[in-house]
Structure 1
Amino acid sequence: MSVTGSINTDLHSECDRDPESNETTPFLTHGSVQPRAKGASFFSSVFNLMNAIMGSGILGLAYAMSSTGIVGFCFLLVLVSSLAAYSIHLLLKLCDQTAINSYEDLGARALQNPGKVLVGVAILIQNIGAMSSYLFILKSELPATINSFLSTDNTGNAWYEDGRLLLILITLCVVLPLAILPKIGFLGYTSSLAFFFMLYFTVVVVVKKWSIPCPLPHNLTTLSGAFQISNSSDSECTPKLFAISSKSAYAVPTMAFSFLCHTAVLPIYCELDRPTKTRMQNVTNVSISLSFLLYLISALFGYLTFYAHVDSELLLNYDTYMPRDIVVMTVRLAILLSVLLTVPLIHFPARKAVLLLLCGGRPFSWFVHIIVTLIILGVVLILAIFVPDIRNVFGVVGSTTSSCLLFIFPGIFYLKISNQPLRSFDSIGAVLLVVFGLIMGVISFSIIIITWVQSS
């Protein structure tokens, strides 16, 4: 999830097709075609969709590569990104056939009210998982960021070194006031920074590859004052091409989490100038390809820097080995700023999904609005505080709701709504998409649960 994806899930814009195009199926509002102003340009739409794709998942991909090997990771990344583009292709075809412009309404069209509820619940869980991952980053990075600007003579017992306390204060003082607003669209102006933050992060990961030696330094003292002994050896500086272990179960869910942008695609489609399916598919292909490139580069150089010692949240490695490097400090600040401003925006569609499921079309109520806001933020805060590892967020959310929204729902909806014969190419593709999503989700989730049980 990211800023643009969160904003766009709450847009209800209507759009029609270019009259000169062969793809003339219009979006309808109450049975009539609405006049439409000039929409967003192609490159603007690419930028918006990239903002919807790029998110906290980029911090976990180096760990995924260490768990699968370079070749295995590249194969899985190509597979997941290609299936993401294909599932968007199916959604766009349904959009043309039905004149529906929201994911929830496609669910209602395919499976009646249960379908709408399923999509709403999946979006709610997905956004809660995304908010938890962002707050987890704040919890783990904020103390290190504050320490990096202070004297090295601190005792390690200061209140600002408690990530949980800082997280609670930040949530109450910054996130809650912004999230409780009924409309927070003005924060969308900051979303254009998100992509540049991710680009800057990728550049720093590449540059710092040559600043950290391998084998990694021994007998490091971490920022928290704990004495850590590194067991690095020359053999660990050889990259693995393939790797299979229980940790590999987190790889595909993390990738699915990283490429999920489907709730933003249809609203961006509506806002596109001369919105045809072919034009929007080109927007999708360019956005996913550029995101794929940034993901691959950051994961590859992050892995080649720390090898088997890469952390599930990559910035933590730089906190340990380069705690006061000015470039690392600036990239940490950029990521934290992006995270902080993203959480209230991701909260907005999550709250909307709850209100839709519980209240339906009832009039706006400040009391219900505030209560739902507090409950969602409370759940997210508890998850961020007590979840010990960000890979758990990526793994559970990626193997459940992300796989549903990315693979299973588009395939099922296409099979239910489309009038194409079952032996057609897209129908077969939809079946394979559902099968892959189910297999990936069940296997990954099962291994993750078994790993938790064994470790406990």
Structure 2
Amino acid sequence: MVFERKKNEAGSSSQSIPIAREDTPLLGQAQQSSQFKTLANIFIAIIGSGVLGLPYSFMRSGWVFGILTLFSVAFLTYYCMLLLVYTRRKLESLNGYSKINSFGDVGFSVCGSFGRFSVDLMIILSQAGFCVSYLIFVSNTLAHLINASSGSEILLGMSRKKWYLWGCLPFQLGLNSIPTLTHLAPLSIFADIVQLGAMGVVLGKDAIVYAQNKPPVQAFGGWSVFFYCVGVCTYAFEGIGMILPLESEAKDKKNFGKTLGLSMGIISLLYATFGALGYFAFGDETKDIITTNIGSGLLSTLVQLGLCINLFFTFPLMMNPVYEVLERRFTEGRYSLWVRWLMVLGVALLALLVPNFADFLSLVGSSVCIALGFVFPALFHLIVFKDEVNWAILGLDGAIIVIGIVLGVSVINTQ
């Protein structure tokens, strides 16, 4: 087996199993977390900006079709997260293996340097993709709020969206220059509270608008938009890189799967309600960022500004896994200001080129998120357990790999 050939290599030095720890800086020093804290951490790790594109996705796919796709993706994501946990536990049970802290560690243990490179590349693309969507949301929202009162979208030959995006850049360069992001953890918690509160307000607004207007909606939009919907739903369940650190810190590891399943179930219900109610409220007028549908007024403005603050301060936290990977590879793990600034500039330039928020969510979700969330966990599990489990489990692993590749290729071709 591949991991057996790497056994001596991995066990020869504590540095052989990689330095990178993905999202672990937010977790602080390793400690045992209660079941409730583990549940809360899973919420923080998974809920992100992808939820804001669900109403638009449901409009295109139909609300019944969208909900079915959402729950299917949620179950598959949950199953693959468990595969990753089981694979890590198996590898750590082998004599000579050092502690496996991250997704990249699993890739290295199973497939050597190529496995690590593949996981690292997908982590860079996915985390940077999340941050591109954050900048798109912030600039679009600010342009929507201010243009509603000024009526002008062009300023000195450049759209207001681009002005606001460039305006974020100096502040992001400063935030992303902080060597340790532990100091930003309170801001992260505040940002997540703001997002949950804003989602609650949006749901309330949607319910009021639906009760007044009740626009026509469709249950099924046809198979032509299936792959698009899969991409958006996959993106919404971000957080695969956090599962191994969270499981490491869980006090009750035996019941971690149940805690994870409960979290995924609650999040799925929240997502389904948010996506369906947003579509019910605005029908065919549903926009790619649902908050731009909720109109003017003090409450609406505060909600949208709150979400902007949330994503603005989440940006450096989400970029930290990228810095850990790049600094380990190019500066021997040492802090590098130029690496960070170049990545922030690259993300900003890419955000300038993306025309549609929800389309970008689908593209990222269908490519790197499917690879990280489905293909790699099933592949690593298949390689590690191929001599120990029955053909049904191996066949399921193989089916997930094939389905993931087909979905990724199909969605990219439909963009």
TM range (shorter): 0.7 to 0.9
**TM-aligned CA distance change 1:156 to 1:198, over 3 Å:** closer
CA RMSD of aligned residues (A): 2.6
Separation in 1, partners of 2:53, 2:316: 22
Partner of 1:7: 23
Partner of 1:332: 304
Separation in 2, partners of 1:153, 1:410: 50
CA deviation profile, 1:189-243 (whole Å, cap 9, x unmatched): 2222344333323322332235447998xxxxxxxxxxxxxxxxx9xx3221111
CA deviation profile, 1:351-371 (whole Å, cap 9, x unmatched): 222223334xx2625xxx122
Q: CA deviation at 1:420?
A: 4.6
SS at structure 2 position matched to 1:241: coil
CA deviation profile, 1:243-290 (whole Å, cap 9, x unmatched): 12654432101111111211001111111124x2x3211221122112
Q: 1:165 aligns with which of 163, 166, 169?
A: 163
**TM-aligned CA distance change 1:47 to 1:364, over 3 Å:** same
1:269 aligns with 2:247: yes
Partner of 2:137: 137
CA deviation profile, 1:285-328 (whole Å, cap 9, x unmatched): 1221121121111101110011122112112222xxx1x22221
Separation in 1, partners of 2:121, 2:150: 49
CA deviation profile, 1:88-143 (whole Å, cap 9, x unmatched): 11111112111223100111122111000000000000011000000000110123
CA deviation profile, 1:403-445 (whole Å, cap 9, x unmatched): 0111000000001112554634432322222122112111111
1:45 aligns with 2:35: no
Partner of 1:199: 196
2:191–2:313 Cα contact (<8 Å) kept:
no
1:316 aligns with 2:332: no
Q: 2:324 aligns with which of 352, 360, 369?
A: 352
Deviates more, 1:376-385 or 1:185-194: 185-194
TM-score w.r.t. length of structure 1:
0.79
Separation in 2, partners of 1:86, 1:210: 33
Q: 2:81 aligns with which of 71, 88, 111?
A: 88
Separation in 2, partners of 1:12, 1:412: 30
Deviates more, 1:384-393 or 1:132-141: 384-393
Partner of 1:364: 334
Amino acid aligned to 1:7? D
1:141–1:332 Cα contact (<8 Å) kept:
yes
SS at structure 2 position matched to 1:209: helix
Deviates more, 1:415-424 or 1:179-188: 415-424
SS at structure 2 position matched to 1:413: helix
Amino acid aligned to 2:363? V
2:83–2:381 Cα contact (<8 Å) kept:
yes
**TM-aligned CA distance change 1:401 to 1:364, over 3 Å:** same
1:249 aligns with 2:227: yes
Partner of 2:368: 401
1:197–1:334 Cα contact (<8 Å) kept:
yes
1:13–1:270 Cα contact (<8 Å) kept:
no
Separation in 2, partners of 1:156, 1:410: 45
Partner of 1:190: 187
SS at structure 1 position matched to 2:221: coil
1:442 aligns with 2:414: no
Separation in 2, partners of 1:132, 1:427: 37
1:6–1:348 Cα contact (<8 Å) kept:
yes
1:51–1:194 Cα contact (<8 Å) kept:
no
Partner of 2:50: 57
Partner of 2:260: 284
TM-score w.r.t. length of structure 2:
0.86
Percentage of matched positions with identical amino acids = 23
2:195–2:310 Cα contact (<8 Å) kept:
no
Separation in 2, partners of 1:390, 1:205: 18
Q: CA deviation at 1:10?
A: 7.6
SS at structure 2 position matched to 1:239: coil
**TM-aligned CA distance change 1:333 to 1:102, over 3 Å:** same
1:120–1:357 Cα contact (<8 Å) kept:
no
> What residue ranges of structure 1 are gaps of 5+ in the alignment?
15-36, 217-233, 449-456
